[in-house]
A = this chain, B = another copy of it.
């Protein structure tokens, strides 16, 4: 689409691990941009996130029908591709920023919408400073997304409510199963969930205690003490005949070693985790002799659009919408936030945070969300979590499977001469 004299294009990219509802934010961005056609000519999406901007692999979202964009609300994963790629600081890698400006200038891009978590907020913050430091007029707005729920200021993070719902539903169902079998078979079931540094996802497993299920949670915020843990499991099995353990992938010992440590590292230099569940299950077997089963939910939990939280879905859409509205108002270097105005009944509205306050701040579970013994969530935590998993928003189904959309993802013709190597 050609841009008129007064209209500019927007750039949108998905960053980091995708979620069940990040596409709902994309939908919010694109639908709202389309509602501001007088100002925003088109939205170009980065193919595979920020990499698409660096390599000039832009996707023309203008080629997608309204129905296809609408279907992003019910489709998990990143429709344009995401990436794990963190820009260094301007003085350490000026080349990358100059390249961004080159591509943005070539495609008349005036707005940068970056949909991601903590690392991405930092990148978005750096990009938001480019107007000043590199003399190219650009507004950068961060669209929050992270299953880890660890962004500051915002009451919760889009993507979290759905993974929390998945974990609570799965733990509830598996616990019902174990309770049925405990007389002669499995007595301890261990479910490993995501959350490298913060125990928000694991905490969601605690919501099933209200359903009479004995649960032990292993949070990354609490140093793992094997003797205390075994004593806890022992007492719950003696009382109930069985128990469920929800272990965060980030659970670690006093010396800092993860229960799951594998020794491999990802592109950000984070240790790649996976496999705390079998470690914990075998610990129980060795100490108490109970038959166990364990599950590792891994990507299933963050991709589970079929059991997404309606609250989460609506918030994910709302932050995308607000990002565009803030952009149109001329704001820069900000992030829409979720502001909780009431817990019972649950009410929320969209607020705004400065990226300088968001970047490089990680929100862990408050200590008073975890019981003194470190194994359960408190009522305060329950009041916080419950509304976030509330409501269902099932996708359409066809022949037994969710009818998820695949966009055409038509490439925008390249305009720069240079090739850029990552």
Tally of A interface residues using CB under 8 Å: 87
Across the interface, do A185 and B266 meet the contact criterion of CB distance under 8 Å?
A: yes
C-alpha spacing A418/B309, complex, angstroms: 53
11 contacts between A and B (CB under 8 A): A18-B181, A76-B177, A81-B179, A81-B183, A168-B401, A170-B300, A170-B304, A295-B295, A295-B298, A391-B400, A392-B397
Count copies of this chain in the complex: 2
Residues of B within 8 A of A17 (CB): 181
Chain B residues positioned under 8 Å from A191 (CB to CB): 300
Inter-chain pairs besides A81-B182, A173-B305, A212-B406, 10 sampled, C-beta below 8 Å: A18-B180, A20-B173, A77-B179, A82-B181, A169-B401, A170-B304, A173-B402, A191-B300, A273-B278, A295-B297
Partner of A169 from the list B49, B176, B402 (CB cut-off 8 Å) is B402
A299 touches B295 (CB 8 A): yes
Q: Are A172 and B401 in contact (CB under 8 A)?
A: yes
Q: A273-B275, A275-B272, A400-B389 are in contact. Are A174 and B267 (CB under 8 A)?
A: no
A390 within 8 A of B: yes
In contact, A84 and B184 (Cβ under 8 angstroms): yes
List B contacts of A282 (CB < 8 A): 273-274
B389 x A185 contact (CB < 8 A): no
**Chain A stretch 153-195: residues in CB contact (< 8 A) with chain B:** 165, 168-170, 172-174, 176-186, 189, 191
Q: Determine the residue in chain B with the shortest Cβ distance to A309.
A: B400
CA distance in complex: A172, B401 (Å): 8
**Given the complex of chains A and B, what is the CA–CA distance between A275 and B172 in angstroms?**
22
Q: Quick check: A401 and B208 within 8 Å, CB to CB?
A: yes
